[in-house]
Structure 1
Amino acid sequence: MNYSKEDCIKDTKEHIGQVREFMLMFAHKLIQRALVHDDSKLENPEVDIFTEYTPKLKHSTYGSDEYKTFLKEMQVALKHHYANNSHHPEHYDNGIRGMDLADIVEMICDWKAATMRHTDGDIRKSIELNKDRFSYSDDLRDIFINTVKMFDQGE
């Protein structure tokens, strides 16, 4: 078979087009998710409970005993929230291992935004604490750390 430079260019352009199509599909999915992120917090049972606890959480340290107590007290809202929002590991029976990449992207964006609501929030510290909380690998932790560098560029 004779494979010419023109054949190579044609095949490469086809490959580039396919990659673009898949990336745009993924970007579209992320945009759709961004538009409905946490909408369940705007309705009960979530809105009433979050109205009470958001100010308390703001002044607590993520992962502290006080923070964990608040989470226990918020279980009705959190169970509803996790059931309706797949960007939380608690949504899945097998936790973070049940998530897809769109869930992961939304989750890391959510974590960053959540740290901005805490007086002493720190995304890198949260990533480290969540490694134990959600039992993810050092590799995934490193990917998260590498990813949040893009948030630093926007600040």
Structure 2
Amino acid sequence: MTTPYDSTADTLRHSLRVAELMGQPVKELMDRSVHHDLSKTREPERATYDQYVPRLRAAVYGSEEHAELVEAMGEGLRHHHAHNRHHPEHFPRGVHDMTLVDLIEMLADWKAATERTEHADQSGEGDQDERGDLAHTLELNCERFGIAPQLMEILANTARHHGWLGAPPDQES
């Protein structure tokens, strides 16, 4: 007589393997969180960022003024993009060549950037103008980087899940 199959051992092995595999991107995210944008603290980027960040903070993201400032950053910004894969500009095909880890860092970078603008509402209450609004940034960058609607929904869902965006209209209290 055969003993009935008990799936516990197989399930536990599977669970441990999934944990091992999930640990790979988690480790990469942790490494990136420690090293994020450090290239801005060295030349040729530092002088560019010293010159332009104060002006970028005062400009409305997506405006003609903002675009002109970004263009004027020239080689310093190109160097930054070339050495930091959380920017779509790093890749020949932009977002299409990015990994999930790249996308998570990109989204966190976009959120943090909205908090650096001069008129961003840091409290999460009240009206935010376009300068400190992650939803507006997502909308602009969807078009700017050719991000497909499904991926944009995933980015917005992730931001909302972590409290970086308000609740969707049907979930607001």
Identity %: 37
TM-score normalized by structure 1? 0.92
Give the equivalent residue in structure 1 for 2:97.
98
CA gap of 1:25–1:64, structure 2 versus 1, over 3 A, is: same
Deviation by residue 1:9-63 (Cα, 9 ceiling, x = unmatched): 1111111111111112211110011111111100111111111111111111111
- In the alignment, which residue of structure 2 is the partner of 1:17? 16
Q: How many Å separate the matches in 2 of 1:123 and 1:3?
A: 57
Cross-structure match for 2:154: 143
Per the alignment, residue 4 of structure 2 pairs with 4
Structure number with the higher helix fraction is: 1
Tell me the residue number matched to 2:169. Answer: none
Give the superposition deviation at 1:151. Answer: 3.7
Gaps of 5+ in 1: none
Question: Does the C-alpha gap of structure 1 residues 64 and 21 become closer, same or farther in structure 2, counting only changes over 3 Å?
Answer: same
Per-residue displacement from partner, 1:83-136 (whole Å, max 9, x unpaired)? 100010100001111111111111000000011111221111101100110001
Amino acid at match of 1:149: R
| RMSD over equivalenced CA pairs, Å | 1.8
Asked if 1:114 corresponds to 2:125, the answer is: no
Residue of structure 1 in register with 2:81 after alignment = 82
Instruction: Supply the distance in 1 between the matched residues of 2:39 and 2:16 (Cα, whole angstroms).
Output: 37
Asked if 1:130 is matched to 2:141, the reply is: yes
Larger relative contact order, structure 1 or 2 (CA cutoff 8 Å, min sep 6) = 1
Amino acid paired to 1:121: G
For structure 2, the 5+ residue unaligned runs are 120-130, 165-173
CA distance in 2, matches of 1:48, 1:134: 27
Aligned-partner residue type, residue 154 of structure 2? I
Figure out how many residues of one structure are paired with residues of the other and give that number.
153
Partner of 1:38: 37
| Structure 1 runs of 4+ with >3 Å offset | 2-5
Q: TM-score, normalised by structure 2?
A: 0.83
